Amino acid sequence: MHKRQERDRKYLEALEDISQTLWRSKKEYGLTEESHPQALRLKEIEEKLTRERRIVEEISLPCRLILEHFSTFLKKSDHVIGFRLGLLEVGKGILNDFSIDEWGTIYLEIGNIRLGWHDKDYQYLFYPDKVILRSYDRSKPEIQLIFNFAFKYSKILPEFNDLTDHEQTLYCHPDMFELLEE
């Protein structure tokens, strides 16, 4: 946990430096014409920087583990995510991107589907190769994310060994952290 916190601090400082440089450059070079394609691409870079800060600062530890894990196979065609909403098996596809909007709303772009949830409204059940998101509001369906790139392959589990103690972690399969103890 301390290693993650130290890395997070450095990462946030680096993101702040990059953001400041981008803002300063836009001002210095007069790149404020918002409808120009290049200005739109700079705005997209700013949004990605904001997303990166939100991963560290605004979302829960369980949700962060999911997104950090998914980052390891983002846009890789040999790793797919299957997803279900309640009893409806919606499909599977390549994870093309994800975003975090204000107030912790997460969106996954899987194939041509955009799947979203509000982090604070869900509890997380972790298994080696899937995650179930269960809403506090029982009228909302569960979301299941099934993937062929198990958590152990991304090598980030040691940084999340305090996951089981988090208030939004409803269940964590014993096999997830068993290998870390050896």
pLDDT at 123 over 60: yes
Q: What global pTM score does this model have? A: 0.86
The DSSP output letter for 30 is: T
Residue 19 CB coordination number (10 Å) = 16
Radius of gyration of the chain (CA): 18
pLDDT at 79 over 60: yes
Q: What is the pLDDT of residue 81?
A: 94
**Nearest C-alpha neighbor of 160 from the set 170, 149, 172, 145:** 172
pLDDT band at 182 (very low <50, low <70, confident <90, very high): very low
pLDDT at 157 over 70: yes
**Structural domains of the chain sorted by starting position, each given as residue range(s) with its CATH number in brackets:** 2-57 (no CATH), 61-181 (2.30.29)
Query: Residue range 16-30: average pLDDT?
Result: 89
Q: What is the pLDDT of residue 152?
A: 86
pLDDT at 177 over 80: no
Q: Are 160 and 4 contacting, i.e. CB atoms less than 8 angstroms apart?
A: yes
